[in-house]
Structure 1
Amino acid sequence: MQFLMLESYVEKDYAMIFFSSPAHHKPSWIWLLKAYRQLDHSFKKNLKALYVLHMSKSYQHVFNLANKIISPKFSDKVSYLATLDELDKIIDLAHVKIPHEVVEYELALPHSLFGYHHHYYHDQSQHAHHRNNGHHHHTHHHHHYQAHQKKEAPTGQFVFGRDLEALAKVEGVDISDQQSDVYIPTVVQKLIEHVRSNGLQQEGIFRKSPSNADLSKARNELDQNHSMFIEHLDVHTAASLLKMFLAGLPRPLISSEFVTMHSQNEDAADLGHKLRCHYKDKPHHFALLQYLVFFLAQVSEHADCNKMTIHNLAIVFSPSLIRSTVAFDDILTSPADAAVYLGQMKLHMAFIEFLIKEKDAIFSTR
């Protein structure tokens, strides 16, 4: 609900203050980076300034790297501040409700310069001291950030979160016969045809997102009735549903391990051969990948209008298409490890670019 309420703010220009400390239950580096990549475009576009207070140098380094890879323009909006005094010079803190814990944290810093706010700090810290001694201090615990293989969809969900085999059964398609390698889920065909007919000229198609309320409603309707007509959907909603479907597959369409083994410098025909060998036991996954790549190439042909170049499409689709089959959140815990993950992100985007650019050679049947 709080996330939905924020949408009314980000529809217009806004500034944000992020109090990064103290935080006793910080999510892992990898969870933060994945969440950062999923941040809706409207949150970034209309943000004019982001003031980050008390963030450690290591976190700053990681997100500066992320900005260079994903959105260099966004990094120009970010300012890292060490003290509340620095923030007060930019924004009048008299109009900002500062959490007591933030004040207590600042008071404990050896380099804090209280200036004319010393009395304010004292009053706030005293209030926080009595409140925490007299009442139970509630904190939100975040325990589950791991990127394990996604679970199968619960009963009653017919589209999102199901693997292709289960979805084929829902549609009454026998993918064990000789035509199994050409199975494309009906929902994917419908969503793509809707975008192809109505969205190729739309600026920011697949980058712009509808409101979360509209997207959630459309997803629930489609989940309960996979044969529903989708022509009435806003084209950006349809585009977002396609990405959501791909990201929700229990098994990623492309594994990060495969991408790591086969760089973009590989010959396109050789990569195509290795892809076919890799997908030998799951031809329907290969068919879906081919179907999607050729469609994305078509979208990029209208980049003069929709601004979605092959590079931009790779940025927005690589998180949905490529995932690791290993729970990296259990392995990558340091800033150096997070930098490795950022390198993987760049490799994933380059791989999707290569697939689109060299689609004819890669997916040739010869």
Structure 2
Amino acid sequence: MTSSDLEQLAELELQKEEEDDEGDEGDEGDEGPSVPLRSGSDSSHPFHDVAQHGIIQVSGDDRYGRKLITFSSCCLPPSHQLNHRRLLEYLRFTLDQLVETDYILVYFHFGLSSSNKPSVSWLRDAYAEFHRKYKKNLKTLYVVHPTNFIRIVWNIFKPLISHKFGKKLTYINYLTELGEHLNYEQLIVPPAVLRHDEKLRLAQTGGPAPSVKTPPPRPPLPTQQFGVSLQYIREKNREATIPPVMQQTVSYLTQKGLRTEGLFRRSARVQLIKDVQKLYNLGKPVNFDDYADVHVPAVILKTFLREMPEPLLTFSVYGPVQELLRVESSLRVSRCKQMMENLPEHNFIVAKFLMSFLHSVSQHSLVNRMSSSNLACVFGVNLVRPLGGAVVLPDLIPINTFTEILVEHFHTVFGSRCPPDP
């Protein structure tokens, strides 16, 4: 079949899918945006016209240090209400903030229709414009709830897509499957997608859909390091002011990683990280020389911070951090200093230890390419997050600004309240 024939077939399939779904989601149109942005009313956002719809979201890191980006078709308004060229520019704007790190793209297909879909020519332009720097660090493209339309469009693009890129595509039929691949709790899933998944499950099993949430965790081991509070680790490791995972990874990276280009930007093999976590949680020794990869301790450090039930800088800083951009530039360092001085004593000590190390990393940025700005993009969402919610895209800018100040102005921010160094 010619490309033109495939395009016509794709359009027919999409229309058929719309007819099949007609009435199933009939009351959704009154709900407004499926994923309203927390900062959607901020008209100063350079892409406010696109961002307000919540089509593209950044959901922090997954459990192995890779950024999670979601694209939700059900949030696309009718085509006459959205400039698709601007949508492409917004996607590029989003990726430009993350493209130097490994990332995951999750595409929620449900909700695409004849009235809101971009044209096939637009898709071609999009693929052509996203050159190698965007594709290189994309680890996986998950297509959730694929249909015949998706498979036909994929065939249209096959002549353009490299074999290496094609291997990154993974079809996900149900949300429970997605939870097997990544940290599902990090994702911002539109309510319409949740309902559609429920409908598909009911059609398959005739019964209610199983929850995608994992069962409650078992009580932690006395030696547990990951996924437990700072206080728990301190109680079980009375001789250690700094959590052992942080002490050992920072010590190793200080000795052998400061001059590694792209430190903290690369991920490591998932199973390898699981194995190291298991060793730590069982209280067994870890020798990073055994792995011959400086990115392993780097990922372990990020994973440790990310899995803390309450972030190192506590939930209390999230609100003040979101207000930081409203503070005059000349006053932001002192505002950040004030926030740090209000931390509990132990959190302050550990935060000072971490930021001292990250400041040292930034001092080698001519070699390792990890400036305070780049480090902020990596660590920000691991240190600051809201209680009971995910970090959405507009919130990243103040979080990254705040973290950059902590790293770049370390001596000023942590200079006056000076507990003994560990």
TM-score (norm 1): 0.60
Deviation of 1:271 (Å): 3.2
Number of the residue aligned with 1:328:
389
Number of the residue aligned with 1:11:
none
Number of the residue aligned with 1:311:
373
Deviation of 1:328 (Å): 3.2
Number of the residue aligned with 1:196:
254
Deviation of 1:138 (Å): 10
Deviation of 1:248 (Å): 1.4
Number of the residue aligned with 1:57:
76
- The 5 A counterparts of 1:209-288 are 209-225=267-283, 228-233=286-291, 234-254=293-313, 255=315, 256-263=318-325, 265=329, 266-276=331-341, 278-279=342-343, 282-288=344-350
Deviation of 1:247 (Å): 0.9
Q: Secondary structure at the match of 2:227?
A: coil
Question: CA separation of 1:54/1:293 partners in 2, compared to 1, >3 Å: closer, same or farther?
Answer: closer
Contact 2:226 2:308 in 1 (8 A): yes
Number of the residue aligned with 1:178:
none
Which amino acid in the other structure matches residue 298 of structure 1?
Answer: S
Q: Secondary structure at the match of 2:220?
A: coil
The runs of 5 or more residues in structure 2 that have no matched partner are 1-13, 26-33, 38-53, 104-128, 136-148, 174-200, 418-422
The runs of 5 or more residues in structure 1 that have no matched partner are 1-19, 45-51, 102-131, 175-182, 330-337
Q: Secondary structure at the match of 1:328?
A: coil
Number of the residue aligned with 2:235:
169
Deviation of 1:70 (Å): 2.9
In structure 1, how many angstroms separate the alpha carbons of the residues matched to 2:384 and 2:279?
27
Deviation of 1:318 (Å): 1.0
Question: CA separation of 1:271/1:152 partners in 2, compared to 1, >3 Å: closer, same or farther?
Answer: farther
Deviation of 1:267 (Å): 4.2
Number of the residue aligned with 2:354:
292
Deviation of 1:249 (Å): 1.4
Number of the residue aligned with 2:409:
358
Which amino acid in the other structure matches residue 91 of structure 1?
Answer: K
- The 5 A counterparts of 1:39-58 are 57=76
**Correspondence 1:67 to 2:95:** yes
Contact 2:246 2:301 in 1 (8 A): yes
Question: CA separation of 1:267/1:43 partners in 2, compared to 1, >3 Å: closer, same or farther?
Answer: closer
**Correspondence 1:90 to 2:144:** no
Deviation of 1:253 (Å): 1.7
Deviation of 1:323 (Å): 1.0
Of 330, 342, 350, 2:393 maps to 342
Q: CA RMSD in A?
A: 4.9
In structure 1, how many angstroms separate the alpha carbons of the residues matched to 2:269 and 2:208?
29
Which amino acid in the other structure matches residue 410 of structure 2?
Answer: K
* CA deviations over 1:76-131 (Å, ceiling 9, x no partner): 2589xx876654432269x99999x9xxxxxxxxxxxxxxxxxxxxxxxxxxxxxx
Question: CA separation of 1:139/1:275 partners in 2, compared to 1, >3 Å: closer, same or farther?
Answer: same
Deviation of 1:43 (Å): 10
In structure 1, how many angstroms separate the alpha carbons of the residues matched to 2:66 and 2:206?
34
- The 5 A counterparts of 1:83-232 are 87-91=154-158, 136=205, 143-144=212-213, 154-155=220-221, 158-173=224-239, 183-225=241-283, 228-232=286-290
Contact 1:222 1:228 in 2 (8 A): yes
Which amino acid in the other structure matches residue 76 of structure 2?
Answer: K
Question: CA separation of 1:354/1:142 partners in 2, compared to 1, >3 Å: closer, same or farther?
Answer: farther
In structure 1, how many angstroms separate the alpha carbons of the residues matched to 2:230 and 2:348?
11
In structure 1, how many angstroms separate the alpha carbons of the residues matched to 2:307 and 2:75?
33
Deviation of 1:268 (Å): 2.2
Percent identical: 19
Q: Which moved more, 1:155-164 or 1:236-245?
A: 155-164
Which amino acid in the other structure matches residue 259 of structure 1?
Answer: V
Contact 2:65 2:302 in 1 (8 A): no
Which amino acid in the other structure matches residue 172 of structure 1?
Answer: R
TM-score (norm 2): 0.53
Deviation of 1:65 (Å): 5.6
**Equivalent pairs, count:** 280
Deviation of 1:260 (Å): 1.9
Contact 1:42 1:209 in 2 (8 A): yes
In structure 1, how many angstroms separate the alpha carbons of the residues matched to 2:363 and 2:227?
31
**Correspondence 1:302 to 2:353:** no
Q: Secondary structure at the match of 1:323?
A: coil
In structure 1, how many angstroms separate the alpha carbons of the residues matched to 2:309 and 2:324?
23
Deviation of 1:312 (Å): 1.3
Deviation of 1:166 (Å): 1.1
Contact 2:59 2:67 in 1 (8 A): no
In structure 1, how many angstroms separate the alpha carbons of the residues matched to 2:378 and 2:284?
25
In structure 2, how many angstroms separate the alpha carbons of the residues matched to 1:272 and 1:43?
28
Which amino acid in the other structure matches residue 357 of structure 1?
Answer: E
Question: CA separation of 1:186/1:139 partners in 2, compared to 1, >3 Å: closer, same or farther?
Answer: same
Question: CA separation of 1:201/1:348 partners in 2, compared to 1, >3 Å: closer, same or farther?
Answer: same
Deviation of 1:53 (Å): 11
